[in-house]
Structures are given as C-alpha cells and as structure tokens.
Chain A
Amino acid sequence: MNASKISARNVNVFYGQKQAISDVSLDFDSDVVTALIGPSGCGKSTFLRTLNRMNDTIANARVEGRIALDGEDIYAAEMDVVQLRARVGMVFQKPNPFPKSIFENVAYGPRIHGLASGSAQLADIVERSLKRAGLWDEVKDRLSDSGTALSGGQQQRLCIARAIAVDPEVILMDEPCSALDPIATARIEELIHELKGRYAIVIVTHNMQQAARVSQRTAFFHLGSLVEYGTTSDIFTNPRQERTKDYITGRYG
C-alpha cells in the first residue's frame, strides 16, 4: 500500500477558548471509505472540516497540528485554499444545490477552475458526473430545470455530482443522508460503493448501521478525541476499548 492520501498528526481545534478536538492523529487511504462515528458534539464534523479547511470560514476557529495531503501540509502558508478544495471535495448534511439549473450546478466547478475548453467538453463533464452520481437517467431531459426543484435525495446526488465534476482526489461527506428518507439513503449508500474505487472517501455519520454498510475503516470519536480506529469489522465485532463497545451496543449516544 502507498503512503496515506491524507495524514493528520496531533490535530487540535479550538473555537475561541473551547477545545473541540484534542490530539487526533489519523490516516486516510485512497480507494477506501473511512467512517467517522461518535455521539453528537464529539467533534467528528469539526475534524472533517479541517481536512479541506472549511473551518477557515468560522471566525474564531483555530487549528493546530499537521494535516498533509500527499505529503503537503495543507495549513502551510503557500497552500492555495481554492486548489485544495478542488482536490478535496465536500458534500454537506443538508442538500444545498445552487438555485440555478441542474446543468449549471454541475458545470459551476469545472467552469470556475477552467477545466473544460469549450461548451461541448463542459457538457461532456456534466453528463459524466451526473452518470457517476446515478442521476443522469432521471434528469437528462430537464437539465435546464432548477436544481432546487428536485427531491431531497436527488438534490443530494446532484451535490455529489457537483463535487465529483471537478475531479477531486478526496470526497468528504458530512452526514450526507441525515436529511433523507430510507430509500434515498439506500441510493446514496449504493453510490458511495460505486465511487469507492476512484476517490478517498471520508464520511461522517450518526448511523452506525450505515458506517458498517459503507465503510472499510471506522474511527470512533468521543468528547473531541479519537478513541479507536481500525477496520470496520474489527470496530463493530471486536472493539478494543470499553467506550467504543458501549457506544456501538447503544449504551449511550
């Protein structure tokens, strides 16, 4: 196996005086889906957002430690945040398509990064991304309709298509199914399976069954620290820590 795609070392995150993450070290590999689980407020979403520097938008957030993407420190002064976010895409908890057409939603990323030369190539990228997100057959006849007119599950797949249109190396998913019904959730999980081979995927989830279904590695967070990290089957069948066992058996959380 190659060196890790993303490696985090001794990461601390503070919101003002309050410490949200303490001393977390984690490696994420390409071609693997890693699930971050833990009770509410345990810092798993905060940690996810440090991986593409979305925490920069929060005024009093401060990150310490080293996070490297392919060996490059992403918090280094010379790191271009725009480029970083193109390489590390993100899907959010609530589907948030732009209030523009379906086509424009997907074409936006390639367009601002100048990835397509000419409209034919752009249309090509849009079609490929929508196909990969499993949405093409449902929307191919109404690409000019508003993205916000789709159903919740379709909107979330549109957001995934938007994220993969810029050809990222890593996709971060912040509880992508928590606002969706079980059928739409199943579609997204299927999609994660299909995307697995191409990208390093990190998914935050509240739903332990979901973590067990979609991921190969699982990290359990509690009160801002990493309690246990291992293969998903180990975590769910043979947890080493008492706290992990209590959580996955439903004692708390």
Chain B
Amino acid sequence: MSDGVAPIVPGTAAPVTVPARMPTDWQTASRQTRIRRRYAAEARFRLMGLFAVVMSAGFLAILLFTMISNGIGGFAQTRIALPIDFPRAGLTLDQARLKGPGADLALAGAGLPEATQAAAIVAYGPDGDKLLSDGAWLRVRDQVKANPALLRGRATLWVPAADTIDIAAKHDGAPADEAIVAKLKAMGALSTGFNAFFLTASDSTDPTMAGIWGALKGSIFTMVVTLLIAFPVGVLSALYLEEYATRNRFTDLIEVSINNLAAVPSIIFGLLGLAVFLNTFHLPRSAALVGGLTLALMTMPVIVIASRNAIKAVPPSIRDAALGVGASPIQVVFHHVLPLALPGILTGTIIGMARALGETAPLLMIGMRAFISAPPDRLSDPATVLPVQIFLWSDQVNRGFVEKTSAAIIVLLVFLLAMNGVAIYLRNKFETRW
C-alpha cells in the first residue's frame, strides 16, 4: 500500500492518507442529475444550431422573395398599339438606303421620330405623344427595317409605353395615369411583353429605355482582368512562399503584410488605384481595365492566403515520394503539389472573385460611376459594373427605376451563382480521392 500514501508536505500537520481505490457510484442522485444535465446541454446546443441554420435560410428566403417580387416587373414591358399611316407621315426617305449599315441613320434623318409622335397625337389626342416612351420610335425603326413593305401603307405597331404609363399599368402609378391606363385597356391598346430591351440596352435617363447589358458587360470585362491578374500572381506568390522561400524575418514580414492586406477596407484600394493607375500611369478613367486592376489588388491577398493553406495541406510524404524518384522541385510543384492543392485554391479564388464582383466603393474612386449609355467594346472603354449600376439606379428619383434596381440585383445574383457554379464544377473535377 505504499502507493496510496500521499507525499508529506513540509509544514502541514498530519499527512492525509488516500485510500488506494474508491469506486464511483454512478447511481447516486447527484450523479444522475449530472447525467441529465449533460443530455440537456447536448439537446440545447443542437437546438441552437438548428435555430441558427433555419434563421440564415430564412433571411436568404426573404432576400430572394423580396428581390424577385420587386424585380420581376423590370423584365416586363408595357406596350401601346400605335397606328401609323406611313405614306402620309411625310417621311423623306431614299428606299435604297434601307439596306445596309446606313439604314438607322437614314430613318432617323427622314423624320421618323417626329412621325411617330405625330401618329400618337392623331391616335390618342393632343397629349398622345406623352404616352410613348422616348425610345418608341426606335421600335418603329426596327420594325420598318425588318419589313420595308410597311412603308407603303397603314400599320399598327406595338411600341413601348412611357414610364408613367408603365408604372400605372403595374398598379403603382399616379391616379391620373391609372385612369389613362384603364381607358387604353378598354380600347385594347395596351399589352405586356418581355422586356428584351432590359437585357440588351445600357443605362438611360428614361427607365423604359434603361438596360443592364452595358453594366453586365463591364462586370464581365472587369472580372476577366481581375482573374487574369490576381489568380496567377496570387497562386505563384503562395507557391513561392510555401515551397521555395526560406523562413526568415523577411518572409515573416511578407506574410504579415499579406494577411493585413486582406483586411484592408476596399475603398482604400480604390484610392490606391486612383493614385497609381490613373495619376501615375495615366490609364483611362472609368475603364474596366483599371477597375479590374484595382479589384485584383484587393482579391490577390485572399487568393494567396487560401492557396497557402491548400498547399500546406498537401502531405509532405507526397513531396518526399516525388523527390525520392528524382523529380526536380518544379516537377514536384506542378505534378503533385499544385494538382492536389487546386480544389482549395479554387475555393479561395471564388470567394475572392465573388467579393470583387459585388464591390462598389473602390470602383467609385476610379470613376466607374459615370453615366455610360453604350456598352464597352474594349477594356479601355468607359464602363460601369453591376453593383455600381444598382447603386446609381437606387439613387434615381424616377419611380420607374425602382423595379429596374431590383431587376439588376437579380441579374447580379444570377451572374454570381453562375460564377460559383463554374467554380464548384471545376473543384469537383480536380478533387482527388485518396
């Protein structure tokens, strides 16, 4: 029983003898209470977790429901029937010019805008021209171009209604406009259709003419620039830091800097882009190129951190195995480490890109908040992006822009989902089963 004797501590009076073994009685009331408490704690914790999941799913559902119910109207367009008597409209038109690239200019010059307005006044009274969208004549033009035979007689064409009528038709307008809509409906002169314009046009001051295509194209351009710069630079930095760099004070400093860079507020990157790309390198203002470069600065640290973690997670035994058969360091990296780290790298990249896609603040700093009514054709053309377009429209007084804003948000979310979908597909494709 020598093991059961407690060590004698100097200064204590009597040494306490501990019995060698004291079996625990699990049936006592206090034990049972403990066990019950433990089960209760487990159940509480599970319930809390479930509550958290349900709550976040609920918020997501509310967001989607609000956006879709508000925005779906943005994809619909109210149209008015417009009878036009072309031979009497006083168009001075050279028929030969209707074919070929000069047709748009020829029709505009021939007085088609005025003829369209005159036709509306004839059909709906002195204020008839106010029922039409500013762009109504463009629809007339397109239909004439498609079918020049129209010019030889009377025709009834469907053209987009003015924004006041459009809102009233969607039961959200002023009482006077609602009355007009009711009258037009009774005449059968009102219809609703899919607003193809919204997906093909760019920003406009008239909500019936405003579209998302310019901003969408700007976003695509910007994302391409961001990805092309941030992905290779980020992955190469991570590979270098993990596989080649020796651990010293300098690499520690780089590591700390990169981690801090990932936490820098995005607007600071905007100021940096303004100072470096615009003021020093004199790159074009408002361009997708500069936007992409600025967002690449912001995305790169995220990619570096995610890539480093993914590379670190590749087991060292795989590196040993490859080195052991005589692979050179670069072969080890490209044949073994990178393929195994790729799923993790892609996850980090998509998180960074998703953040860049939704970013507004830094782009405001480099001038991408300008009113741009034509989609960009080159990277250096002035452009805007979806979140900035949403921000601009949400600032508009005109009520027609309310549903356009929500519709633009839907487009942004669809873009985001498509991007994530591609990333998840790629990740699963490269995932290695062990």
Residues on A lying within 8 angstroms of B by beta carbon are 52, 54, 57, 59, 82-86, 89-92, 94, 96-99, 108-109, 112-113, 146, 148, 159, 162-163, 165-166
Decide if A96 touches B323 in the complex (CB within 8 Å). Answer: no
Among B317, B325, B327, max chain A CB count under 10 A is at B325
Among A90, A91, A97, A166, max chain B CB count under 10 A is at A90
The docked-state distance in angstroms from the alpha carbon of A96 to that of B335 is 15
B254 at the interface (CB under 8 A from A): no
B429 at the interface (CB under 8 A from A): no
Decide if A86 touches B320 in the complex (CB within 8 Å). Answer: no
| Residues of B334-348 whose CB lies within 8 A of A | 335-336, 340
Decide if B247 touches A92 in the complex (CB within 8 Å). Answer: no
The docked-state distance in angstroms from the alpha carbon of A111 to that of B396 is 64
| Residues of B178-193 whose CB lies within 8 A of A | none
Residues on B lying within 8 angstroms of A by beta carbon are 246-247, 315, 317-328, 331, 335-336, 340, 432-434
Decide if B324 touches A163 in the complex (CB within 8 Å). Answer: yes
The docked-state distance in angstroms from the alpha carbon of A97 to that of B321 is 7
Decide if B336 touches A98 in the complex (CB within 8 Å). Answer: yes
Please give me the residue from chain A that is nearest to B336 by CB atom. Answer: A98
The docked-state distance in angstroms from the alpha carbon of A56 to that of B325 is 15
The docked-state distance in angstroms from the alpha carbon of A59 to that of B323 is 15
Decide if B326 touches A166 in the complex (CB within 8 Å). Answer: yes
When A54-B324, A82-B328, A166-B325 are in contact, do A96 and B317 touch as well, CB less than 8 Å?
Answer: yes
Q: Looking at the complex, which one of A54, A83, A112, A148 makes contact with B320 (CB distance below 8 Å)? A: A54
Contacts of A146 in B (CB 8 A): 433
Please give me the residue from chain B that is nearest to A85 by CB atom. Answer: B326
Besides A91-B324, A162-B321, 5 other A-B contacts (C-beta < 8 A)? A57-B320, A89-B325, A90-B320, A98-B318, A99-B434
Contacts of B321 in A (CB 8 A): 92, 96-98, 159, 162
Q: List 14 A-B contacts (CB under 8 A).
A: A54-B320, A59-B246, A82-B327, A83-B326, A85-B325, A86-B325, A92-B317, A92-B321, A96-B317, A98-B321, A108-B327, A109-B326, A112-B331, A113-B326
Decide if A57 touches B325 in the complex (CB within 8 Å). Answer: no
Contacts of A99 in B (CB 8 A): 318, 340, 432-434
Among A91, A98, A113, A166, max chain B CB count under 10 A is at A98
Contacts of A59 in B (CB 8 A): 246-247
Contacts of A57 in B (CB 8 A): 319-320, 323
Please give me the residue from chain A that is nearest to B321 by CB atom. Answer: A96
Among B317, B318, B323, max chain A CB count under 10 A is at B323
Top 3 A-B pairs, shortest CB-CB distance:
A86-B326, A96-B317, A109-B325
The docked-state distance in angstroms from the alpha carbon of A109 to that of B321 is 10
When A59-B246, A112-B331, A146-B433 are in contact, do A92 and B324 touch as well, CB less than 8 Å?
Answer: yes
Contacts of A97 in B (CB 8 A): 321
When A59-B246, A96-B318 are in contact, do A52 and B324 touch as well, CB less than 8 Å?
Answer: yes
Decide if A54 touches B323 in the complex (CB within 8 Å). Answer: yes
The docked-state distance in angstroms from the alpha carbon of A80 to that of B433 is 34
Contacts of A90 in B (CB 8 A): 320, 324
Please give me the residue from chain A that is nearest to B247 by CB atom. Answer: A59
Contacts of B433 in A (CB 8 A): 99, 146, 148
Please give me the residue from chain B that is nearest to A159 by CB atom. Answer: B321
Contacts of B318 in A (CB 8 A): 96, 98-99
CB B247 to nearest CB in A, in angstroms, measures 6
CB A94 to nearest CB in B, in angstroms, measures 6
CB A147 to nearest CB in B, in angstroms, measures 10
Please give me the residue from chain B that is nearest to A113 by CB atom. Answer: B326
When A99-B340, A99-B434 are in contact, do A85 and B324 touch as well, CB less than 8 Å?
Answer: yes
Contacts of B336 in A (CB 8 A): 98
Contacts of B247 in A (CB 8 A): 59
Decide if B320 touches A92 in the complex (CB within 8 Å). Answer: yes
The docked-state distance in angstroms from the alpha carbon of A139 to that of B116 is 80
The docked-state distance in angstroms from the alpha carbon of A82 to that of B318 is 16
Please give me the residue from chain A that is nearest to B317 by CB atom. Answer: A96
Please give me the residue from chain A that is nearest to B324 by CB atom. Answer: A90
CB B313 to nearest CB in A, in angstroms, measures 13
Decide if A89 touches B323 in the complex (CB within 8 Å). Answer: no
Contacts of A162 in B (CB 8 A): 321, 325
CB B430 to nearest CB in A, in angstroms, measures 12
The docked-state distance in angstroms from the alpha carbon of A89 to that of B327 is 11
Decide if B326 touches A112 in the complex (CB within 8 Å). Answer: yes
When A59-B246, A59-B247, A146-B433 are in contact, do A96 and B326 touch as well, CB less than 8 Å?
Answer: no
Contacts of A94 in B (CB 8 A): 317
The docked-state distance in angstroms from the alpha carbon of A99 to that of B327 is 16
Decide if B325 touches A148 in the complex (CB within 8 Å). Answer: no
Contacts of A92 in B (CB 8 A): 317, 320-321, 324
The docked-state distance in angstroms from the alpha carbon of A47 to that of B122 is 101
CB A223 to nearest CB in B, in angstroms, measures 26
